[in-house]
Amino acid sequence: MSKNEIKVAVVGLGNCASSLVQGLYYYRNSKKEKFVPGLMHVNFGGYYIEDIKIVAAFDVNKNKIGKDVGEAIYASPNNTAIFAKVPKMGVKVQRGPLLDGVNKYTADVVPVDTKQKAVDVVKALKDSGAEIVINYLPVGSQQATEFYAQCAIDAGCGFVNCIPVFIASDAKWAKKFKDAGLPVIGDDIKAQVGATITHRALVNLFLDRGMKIERTYQLNTGGNTDFLNMLERERLASKKISKTESVKSMIEARGQTIEDDNIHIGPSDYVPWQKDNKLCFIRIESKHFGDVPMYLDLRLSVEDSPNSAGVAIDSIRCMKLALNNGLKGPIIEPAAFFQKRPPKQFDDRVAKQMVEDYIDKYKLVTK
Ligand SMILES: NC(=O)c1ccc[n+]([C@@H]2O[C@H](COP(=O)([O-])OP(=O)(O)OC[C@H]3O[C@@H](n4cnc5c(N)ncnc54)[C@H](O)[C@@H]3O)[C@@H](O)[C@H]2O)c1
C-alpha cells in the first residue's frame, strides 16, 4: 500500500472511467519510469500514479451495479480500447440516483433497474474514506452533476468535474465549495491532444503569424455513448459554450473579433462503427498578405477516452495538493490548463507554467 494514498470516488463508470482505471493499473509501477505519455510529470508534486486508489464508484447501469470496478469497466455499452486487463479491485459499483443521467437515445443501451433504490451517496462516500470525487456523467446531466457536487460537499470531498455542466465556473457553485472550505477543479476536461487543444494551437499559430481568422469550424463524430447521448441537441447547450469559448476566447484575447455565425464548434454526429474512435474535422479560413485567402483543413483521428485519462490523473494529483494545503473554491491554475471551461481562460503556454508554479508551491514536502 502506498503511504501517500489519494482516495478517489468515480461517478459514472463509462469509457472515460474505464481508461482511467486501466491506466492506473497499466502504469502502477510508474515510479520506475522516466516518462509516461499523457502526464505532465511522473512525479507530480510528490505523488505517483500508484498513489491513486479508487475507493468508491457510482453508476445506474444494471450491467455495472454490484460488479467489482475491475469488471464493470469492461461492461456494455463501454467500447473503448482495452490496453490493460485490470483484476478485481475489491470495490463494488453502487447504484446512484438516476435523475437526468440517461436520455431517450441512451436508454436503449443503458439498462436501468428502476425498482432498485439508490444508495445514500454521502454515507457511501464517507464510509469509503474518499477525499476526491471525479465526475464522468453524460453531457447534459445538470441535475445529476449538481446532486453529486452537493454530495461531495456534504462528505467533505474535493470535486474534479470532467464534464460541461458548469460547477467550478459557476459563481453559485464556486461559492458553495469555498464556503465549505473545499476545492473544485473544472469544468469539462481537455484531452491530451484532442480537438480543442489542436484547434487552439492552430488558431494560436495563425495569430502568431499575423493572420486574420475569418471563419472556423470544428466538427466531431464518434460511436461511443457520449456521442449517442449528444444526439439530443437540447443537452448540448453547455458543451457548445464550453468548446466554442475555449477557441473564441483566444481569438478575442489577441484583439481580433469573430462573429458568432463565423465560428461553429460542436459534436456533430453518432457513427456506431467508430466506437470510441473520434474523428475531428477542423477548417480555418483566413487571409494573409495582400488580403489573399488561405484555407486549412485538418482531420484528426483519436481514441477518445484514453486521450483524457492522463489529464484526469494530473487533475486528481493537483486536487490532492489543494486538499493538503487547505485551498478552497475553484482552483484556477489546473483548471486553466486541464479544463476547457475554467473559471478564467489563459493561453495554454501561460497555463502550463501556472501549473508548474502551482506544483512547486504546493508540492509534498518529505521529511
Ligand atoms: N473523452 C474525453 O476525452 C472527454 C473530454 C471532455 C469531456 N468528456 C466528458 O466526460 C463524460 C464521460 O464520458 P464517457 O465517454 O465516459 O461517457 P459514458 O457515456 O461512457 O459514461 C457515462 C457513465 O455515466 C453513467 N451514468 C448515467 N447516469 C448516471 C447517474 N445518474 N449516476 C451515476 N452514473 C450515471 C452511465 O451509465 C455511464 O456508465 C462525458 O460527459 C464526456 O463528454 C470526455
User: What is the per-residue pLDDT across 306-316, written as a single tens digit (0 to 9) for each?
Assistant: 999 999 999 99
* Helical packing angle, 348-362 and 195-208, nearest 10°: 120
Torsion over CA of 127, 132, 136 and 141, rounded to 10 degrees? 80
pLDDT of 242 reads 84
Give exposure, 203-236, as e/b (b: 16+ Cβ within 10 Å).
bbebbeeebebeebbbbbbbbbbbbbbbeeeebb
Q: Whose CA is nearest to atom 8 of ligand 1?
A: 163
pLDDT of 1 reads 67
Cell 475554467 sits on residue: 342
**Cβ count near 75 (within 10 Å):** 18
Distance (Å, whole) CA 261 – CA 313: 36
Residue 266 has which C-alpha cell? 460542436
Distance (Å, whole) CA 222 – CA 220: 7
| Domains of the chain with bracketed CATH | 6-190+306-362 (3.40.50.720), 195-303 (3.30.360.10)
Q: Whose CA is nearest to atom 24 of ligand 1?
A: 12
E strands in 289-346: 292-303, 329-330
- Verify whether ligand 1 is closer than 6 Å to residue 19 (CB atom): no
Q: Between the CA of residue 76 and those of 71, 73, 276, 290, what are the distances in Å?
A: 11, 9, 13, 56
- Verify whether ligand 1 is closer than 6 Å to residue 15 (CB atom): yes
pLDDT of 101 reads 97
Pairing of strands 277-288, 183-185: unpaired
State the distance from the centre of ligand 1 to the C-alpha of 141, rounded, in angstroms: 9
Question: Dihedral of CA 33/192/200/281: which sign?
Answer: positive
Q: Whose CA is nearest to atom 28 of ligand 1?
A: 101
| Ligand 1: nearest atom to the Cα of 101 | 28
- Verify whether ligand 1 is closer than 6 Å to residue 98 (CB atom): yes
Distance (Å, whole) CA 165 – CA 304: 19
Q: How many CA atoms lie within 13 A of 12 on its CB side?
A: 25
pLDDT of 68 reads 98
Pairing of strands 212-222, 277-288: antiparallel
Q: Do 181 and 326 meet the contact criterion of CB atoms below 8 Å apart?
A: yes
Q: Do 168 and 242 meet the contact criterion of CB atoms below 8 Å apart?
A: no
Residue 189 DSSP class: B
pLDDT of 367 reads 60
Residue from 15, 18, 19, 59 to probe ligand 1 pocket by mutation (most atoms less than 8 Å from CB): 59
Q: Which amino acid is at 15?
A: N
Alpha helices in 108-236 (DSSP H): 121-128, 142-155, 171-179, 195-208, 225-229
pLDDT of 285 reads 98
The structure's pTM equals: 0.96
Distance (Å, whole) CA 219 – CA 266: 6
Regions of the chain short of the pLDDT cut 70: 1, 367
Q: Whose CA is nearest to atom 25 of ligand 1?
A: 12
Q: Between the CA of residue 162 and those of 117, 165, 187, what are the distances in Å?
A: 26, 9, 6
Residue 245 has which C-alpha cell? 469559448
Q: How many CA atoms lie within 13 A of 90 on its CB side?
A: 3
State the distance from the centre of ligand 1 to the C-alpha of 229, rounded, in angstroms: 9
| Ligand 1: nearest atom to the Cα of 110 | 37
User: What is the per-residue pLDDT across 308-345, written as a single tens digit (0 to 9) for each?
Assistant: 999 999 999 999 999 999 999 999 999 999 999 999 99
pLDDT of 296 reads 98
